[in-house]
Amino acid sequence: MCKVIAVVNQKGGVGKTTTCGNLGIGLARCGKKVLLIDADLQGDLTASLTDNLYLYNNPDEINHTLATVMMNTINEVEMDKDYAILRHSEGVDVLPSNIDLSAMEISLVNVMSRELILKRYIESIKQHYDYILIDGMPSLGMLTINVLACADSVLIPVQAAYLPIKGLQQLMKTIGQVKRQLNPRLEIEGVLVTMFDRRTKNARDITELLEENYGTMLNVFVNKIPLSVRAAETTAKGVSIFQYDPNGTVGQAYEALTKEVLEDESRNSEGD
Ligand code: ATP
Ligand code: MG
C-alpha cells in the first residue's frame, strides 16, 4: 500500500520544499521506498538535491521531467516505470521539475479531465513505492489542484508568524472543494509549524493561536521545526539535514516528524 502525501501551502517560503526533501529522506532511512515529486516550476526540490542527482548540475539541463511525464500521460504515450526518475544517493527516487512545467500548466487548460492528469500517472507507478511525497508550489492553480486530486493526505507547513496562519483559511477552502468534487478520500495529514523560534513571544503566541483555531479540526504536529541557519544552508548542499548536520536541532525535529508520520500510519492501519 502506497501513501501519497502532498506538501502544500499557497503561501511562499514556509518550508514546503525543505520538509518534502527531509521527510522523504527520513522515511527512506526507516526502510521505506520513497518517490519525491517536484511539482513546482521553480524546481527548488530538484535544485536542492541536484548536486547528488548524478549527471546534472542544473535542473534546466534535465530533458525528462514531470512536465514530459504529464504530457505523455495526456497523449497516452506509454512510459517505462523508471521514465524521468532520478536516484538520490540517500536512497530516494526523485521525479524532477524545471521551468518546462510552466508551459505544461498553461497547456492543461485545453485538456480533457485536466484536474486528474497527475492522478493517472501516479496510479500507474504507485505499486512501486511505500510513500510518494509531492512538493507543491506557492499557488492554488491547476497544478496544485492536480496534486490535491491525487493525494491521500495533505501536509501543510506553516511558518510560525501571523500572516501565514491567516492564509490557511483559503487553503482549507480549496482542500474542501477538491475533497467534495474530485477526491473524497483526501485527508489532512497535519499542520507543521516551521521556522519556529521558541525564544520569541510572537512565535509562541502564534502556535497557541493555531492550536486554538484549528487544533480540534486539524492535527497540528507535536514536533515543530526550529529556525536554524543549518536548515537554510542544507538547501545549497544537495543532501538532507541528516547528512549535513546529523546532530543539529532541525535534523532531530525532522527525524521526530518522520516517526510521527509513521506512527499515524500504523494507528490508521490498526483501525482498518
Ligand atoms: P516556495 O513557496 O518558494 O516553494 P517553500 O515553502 O518550499 O518555498 P523552502 O524553500 O523550504 O520553502 O524554505 C524557504 C527558505 O527558508 C529556504 O531558503 C530554506 O532554506 C529556508 N528554511 C527552511 N526551513 C528552515 C528552518 N527550519 N530554519 C531556517 N531556514 C529555513
Ligand atoms: Mg518550495
For residue range 87-127, what is the model confidence (pLDDT) as tens digits? 999 999 999 999 999 999 999 988 999 999 999 999 999 99
For residue 15, the ligand closest to its alpha carbon is: 1
CB 225, CB 196: distance < 8 Å: yes
CB 4, CB 186: distance < 8 Å: no
Pairing mode, strands 86-87 and 93-95? antiparallel
pLDDT recorded at residue 35: 98
Question: Cα–Cα distance between 184 and 167 in angstroms, integer?
Answer: 23
Q: Taking all residues of the chain, what is their mean pLDDT, rounded to a whole number?
A: 92
Number of neighbouring beta carbons within 10 Å of residue 61 = 10
Question: Cα–Cα distance between 194 and 215 in angstroms, integer?
Answer: 16
Going by C-beta distance under 8 Å and a sequence separation of 6 or more, which residues neighbour residue 91? Answer: 25, 28, 29, 34
Tell me, in angstroms, the distance from the centre of ligand 1 to residue 16's CA: 7
Question: Cα–Cα distance between 73 and 183 in angstroms, integer?
Answer: 19
CA distances from 6 to 29, 36, 175 (A): 20, 10, 11
| Nearest CA residue ID for atom 2, ligand 1 | 12
For residue 18, the ligand closest to its alpha carbon is: 1
> Letter for the amino acid at 33?
K
Please state the atom number of ligand 1 nearest to the C-alpha of residue 228. Answer: 28
What are 118's three cell numbers? 497527475
Question: Cα–Cα distance between 77 and 160 in angstroms, integer?
Answer: 44
Tell me, in angstroms, the distance from the centre of ligand 2 to residue 97's CA: 12
Nearest to 32 by CA among 5, 52, 7, 2: 2
CB 186, CB 178: distance < 8 Å: yes
Tell me, in angstroms, the distance from the centre of ligand 1 to residue 232's CA: 7
CA distances from 264 to 28, 41, 50, 190 (A): 17, 31, 31, 10
45: DSSP letter:
H
| Nearest CA residue ID for atom 15, ligand 1 | 13
Cell 477526491 belongs to: 183
For residue 225, the ligand closest to its alpha carbon is: 1
For residue 16, the ligand closest to its alpha carbon is: 1
| pTM for the model | 0.95
- Tell me what the mean pLDDT of segment 228-247 comes to: 92
Query: Above 60 in pLDDT, residue 272?
Result: no
Of 7, 17, 20, best ligand 1 pocket probe by most atoms within 8 Å of the beta carbon: 17
- Tell me what the mean pLDDT of segment 215-242 comes to: 90
> Letter for the amino acid at 195?
M
| Nearest CA residue ID for atom 23, ligand 1 | 15
Tell me, in angstroms, the distance from the centre of ligand 1 to residue 19's CA: 8
Tell me, in angstroms, the distance from the centre of ligand 1 to residue 34's CA: 21
pLDDT recorded at residue 238: 87
- pLDDT greater at residue 130 or residue 50: 130
Find the residues whose C-beta lies inside 6 A of ligand 1.
12-18, 40, 44, 138, 194-195, 225, 227-228, 231-232, 235, 250
Of 32-36, 151-155, 262-266, least confident by mean pLDDT is: 262-266
CB 162, CB 26: distance < 8 Å: no
